[in-house]
Amino acid sequence: MDEALIIRHADTDDINSIGFLAHQIWPATYGHILAKEQLDYMLQMMYSPASLKKQMQQEHVFLIAELDEEPVGFASFSPTPDAGTFKLHKIYVRTDIQGKGLGKALINAVAEEIREKNAHCLRLNVNRHNMAKDFYERLGFVIVKEEDIDIGNGYFMNDYVMEKTL
């Protein structure tokens, strides 16, 4: 990759960039898995400016990946009630540049930060039909269980829970 990759902490000034990226990435990622109505509902629920601000106020740390100062991906994570375990809530990279190591770089940045906080485990949820499951497995994550999460409005997230020992 010729461009300069920077991964930095995001703050409330980055909320619009994160929302914009999510609205670019989600239709390509989930359009074949979720009905448009559910996709729209989830984008509003998770990526509206008010929702992102609330997440940032609730211990979610957001990272932004930039190539040549242009935001191209993001991740968010937070501690869980389980000592030494952190949850990766979000990790998305623009679809036109996936496969170039940005997702791995974001995971590594998260792992580095949480190791400094005495973490020994990184946990995530991934839709059971999302091809990203294979990406996570290549990075050392293993499926520990399945769960169906009621997110309201009659919709469910049908996920694998995956963990990686650090």
For residue 1, the model assigns a pLDDT of 54
Q: How many CB atoms lie within 10 A of CB 22?
A: 19
Q: What is the mean pLDDT of residues 23-31?
A: 95
Instruction: Work out the number of other CB atoms within 10 angstroms of the CB of residue 36.
Output: 10
Q: How many domains does the chain contain in total?
A: 1
In three-state secondary structure terms, 87 is strand
Tell me the per-residue pLDDT of 79-124, one tens digit each, with 9 for 90 and over: 999 999 999 999 999 999 999 999 999 999 999 999 999 999 999 9
Amino acid letter for position 141 = F
Helix (H) or strand (E) holding 13: none
Domain range for 44: 5-165
**Residue 132: which CATH number?**
3.40.630.30
